[in-house]
Amino acid sequence: MKKVLAVLLVLAMSMMMFTGCGSKKEDEKVYKIGIIQLMEHPSLDTIRESIIEGLEDEGYVDGDNIEILYQNGQNDMTTMKNIAQTFVGEECDVIVAIATPAAQAALSETTDIPIVFAAITDPVDAGLVDSLETPGGNVTGTSDEVSAEMIMNLAKDIDPDFKTIGALYNTGEDNSVSVIAGLKEYAEANGFKVVESTVTNTSEVQQAAQYLADKVDIVFSPIDNTVASSMAVATEIFNGAGIPFYVSADSMVKDGGLATYGIDYTVLGKETASMIADVLEGGDPATMAVRKMSDMKVYLNTETAKALNLEIPADVLEKATTFPE
């Protein structure tokens, strides 16, 4: 009788292991997720943190059933390609790429391992997908597309008294080039003049901003990683010259830009996490449409408005999320 009991016990225990009873599933696969982030600036950090939180919400916990390998690309293409190669060598189940150049670097190193990107302004122009609806390859993810026209309409609501728009951006970022194309179209159709001042890296931002300071009525920057990481330098010049500086991301407003009409990057991070989960569960990026964020909000820096002596109209103030918090 004892023997029968012992056999039953062993049987029951092994069944528990196979069906995954108990707190930790011993036979569960641990997925490897390689995260490659262009550089560290507040917006990209927020996205990464929110992806990791979102993965937890989906049941994927680092150190439990997933292993997250995170590396920051130091804003350098060669570094990012090396990171992507490491992830390929590690046989990651999915590579997560935050910002356009990071996704481009990842794609250059693998067309097999699924790549889920986060916050890519224009994935088609960046050469990452065939179309938003049907990406066609091993790459899909979330887009943070913004409209220069909507931001200029916000500028008009705040103070319609401008004719010349300065455009400050990095020509090497496809994400910026695409938004600036929209700005130029808008300006042409509405009788505004655009003065461009472009950079190739952060060390040029000060001079490029200075160049615009006595030539334009307002300045606009797209969702540009280089400008986003040099906000202190840019806002000091523009606030000093009394020029409203319109930007394209909440973090850039938080860092001293006057205002934007943009998306919530915490929501974008969660959305990206849900796509990563879909891929881990067997989804094919080729047929998973790129997701865009539909919920756009006005972000306004009241301290910057004060520095510029700008009276913000009540209807704008009412709908705005304001900084400092």
Our finding on whether 271 is near ligand TRP (CB under 6 A) is no
String marking each residue 178-217 x if it binds ligand TRP according to CB under 6 A? ----------------------------------------
Strand residues in 38-155 grouped as ranges (E): 66-72, 94-98, 115-118, 139-143
Question: Which residue from 251, 260, 272, 304 is in contact with ligand TRP, where contact means CB under 6 A?
Answer: 251
Our finding on whether 93 is near ligand TRP (CB under 6 A) is no
What tokens appear for 96 in the block? 């997560």
Question: Which residue from 92, 120, 243, 308 is in contact with ligand TRP, where contact means CB under 6 A?
Answer: 120
Our finding on whether 225 is near ligand TRP (CB under 6 A) is yes
**How many residues make contact with ligand TRP (CB under 6 A)?**
17
Question: Which residue from 35, 51, 223, 275 is in contact with ligand TRP, where contact means CB under 6 A?
Answer: 223
Pair 38, 32: CB distance under 8 Å: no
Residue 188, SS3 per DSSP: helix
Our finding on whether 237 is near ligand TRP (CB under 6 A) is no
Which amino acid is present at 295?
D
Closest approach of ligand TRP to the CB of residue 69, in Å: 21
Closest approach of ligand TRP to the CB of residue 228, in Å: 3
Closest approach of ligand TRP to the CB of residue 249, in Å: 3
Residue with tokens 């481009």: 104
What tokens appear for 86 in the block? 């490491």
Closest approach of ligand TRP to the CB of residue 103, in Å: 8
Our finding on whether 175 is near ligand TRP (CB under 6 A) is yes
What tokens appear for 149 in the block? 């026209």
Cα distance between residue 96 and residue 118, in whole Å: 7
Question: Which residue from 87, 94, 141, 144 is in contact with ligand TRP, where contact means CB under 6 A?
Answer: 144
Our finding on whether 168 is near ligand TRP (CB under 6 A) is no
Closest to ligand TRP by CB, 118 or 280: 118
Query: In this structure, what DSSP letter does residue 99 have?
Result: S
Closest approach of ligand TRP to the CB of residue 100, in Å: 4
Our finding on whether 115 is near ligand TRP (CB under 6 A) is no
Residue 24: strand pairing partners:
none
Closest approach of ligand TRP to the CB of residue 199, in Å: 13
Our finding on whether 170 is near ligand TRP (CB under 6 A) is no
Our finding on whether 100 is near ligand TRP (CB under 6 A) is yes
Name the CA dihedral angle for 127, 128, 131, 134, rounded to a multiple of 10 degrees: 150
- Which phi and psi (to 5°) does residue 29 adopt? -75, 140
Question: Which residue from 84, 119, 219, 288 is in contact with ligand TRP, where contact means CB under 6 A?
Answer: 119
In terms of Cβ atoms closer than 10 Å to its own Cβ (0-12, 13-18, 19+), residue 296 is middle
Residue with tokens 């020509």: 171
Question: Which residue from 33, 95, 96, 99 is in contact with ligand TRP, where contact means CB under 6 A?
Answer: 99
DSSP assignment of 6-70: HHHHHHHHHHHHHHT-SSS-TT---EEEEEEES---HHHHHHHHHHHHHHHHTT--BTTTEEEEE
What tokens appear for 167 in the block? 């455009």
Residues interacting with ligand TRP, by CB under 6 A?
43-44, 99-100, 119-121, 144, 175, 223-225, 228, 249, 251-252, 265
